[in-house]
Amino acid sequence: MKKALASIAIILFSVSSISLPANASGNDIIPSAVVVDTEKVPHKEFQPQLLDNQQNTLKAAAVGPHWVADSSCDEGYFSDNVLSYSASYTDSTKSTRKQIDRIYARLTVYNEKAFAASGTDDQSNSSYAGATASVHFNPWEDGESYGTHKFEHAGYQSWYPETYGD
C-alpha cells in the first residue's frame, strides 16, 4: 500500500512540474480566429490581426484591412431611411477601400418593437455591402434598426459585429 501511495505521489509531482508554453513558439499569443461583438451601438471599427503569428506584423499592419460596421435609422416626417452597411478599407484613415473575401450586411427594421422590414447584401471579393429600407412611420412612432455584419478574409481574424440604430 505504501509503495502504491509513493508511486502516485511521484507521478502527481512529475505531472504538476511540467510546464507547457502558451503556443508552439513559446512566447506569442495566437489571436482568436473569430471575434464577435454584440454591444448595442450604431458604429464600430475593427483592425483584424493576422492568424499566422510567424509573419512580420509590421508588414501586416501596412497592408492589413480596417473594417467598419454601421447602422442608422434617420427618422423623417412619415418616412425613415434605414441603412446598415459593412465596409473594408486599407487602414484607419478610410481613404482607400480594400477588397476582402466576404463582406456581408443584414438589416432588420422594427416599428414600435414590431417587425417592419429587412434586407441583406452578401458580397464576395468586395469592399462594401449595404442593406437599405425605406419604411413609413408616423412621427410619434419609434423606429429601430439592427445590423448583422460579417467580415472574412483569408489569413486574418473574422469579425461578426452587430450594430443598432435608433
| CATH number of the domain encompassing residue 90 | 2.60.40
22 in any annotated domain: no
pLDDT of residue 10: 44
- Of the CA atoms within 13 Å of residue 82, those in its CB half-sphere come to 30
In a domain, residue 81? The reply is yes
**Cell numbers found for residue 55:** 509573419
Spatial contact of 108 and 119, defined as CB atoms under 8 Å apart = no
Nearest alpha carbon to residue 166 among 84, 86, 44:
84
Residue 6: all three cell numbers together = 509513493
pLDDT digits (tens, 9 = 90+) for 43-80: 999 999 988 754 555 454 556 799 999 998 876 655 56
Cβ atoms 44, 37 nearer than 8 A: yes
**Containing domain of residue 79, as a range?**
32-165
pLDDT at 96 over 50: yes
Whether 33 shows a pLDDT value over 80: the answer reads yes
Collapsing DSSP to helix, strand or coil, 122 comes out as: strand
The structural domain count of the chain equals 1
| Per-residue CA distances from 99 to 6, 65, 149 (Å) | 63, 9, 16
| pLDDT at position 21 over 50 | no
Antiparallel, parallel or unpaired: β 43-46 and 66-75: antiparallel
CA angle 152, 160, 162 (to 5 degrees): 145
Q: Tell me how far CA of residue 134 lies from CA of 66, 77, 112, in angstroms.
A: 29, 12, 16
pLDDT per position as a tens digit, 3-12? 444 444 444 4
Q: Quick check: is 59 in a domain?
A: yes
Q: Rounded to whole angstroms, how far apart are CA atoms 9 and 17?
A: 12
In a domain, 45, yes or no: yes
Residue 108 · residue 122 · CB < 8 Å? no
Give per-residue pLDDT as tens, 112-141: 899 999 999 999 999 999 999 888 877 778
User: In the predicted model, is pLDDT for residue 23 greater than 50?
Assistant: no
Write the CB contacts of 99 (distance below 8 Å, at least 6 apart in sequence): 88, 125, 126, 127
pLDDT tier at 93, thresholds 50, 70, 90: very high
Residue with the larger pLDDT of the pair 45 and 143: 45
More confident of the two residues 160 and 112:
160
Average confidence (pLDDT) over 15-40: 61
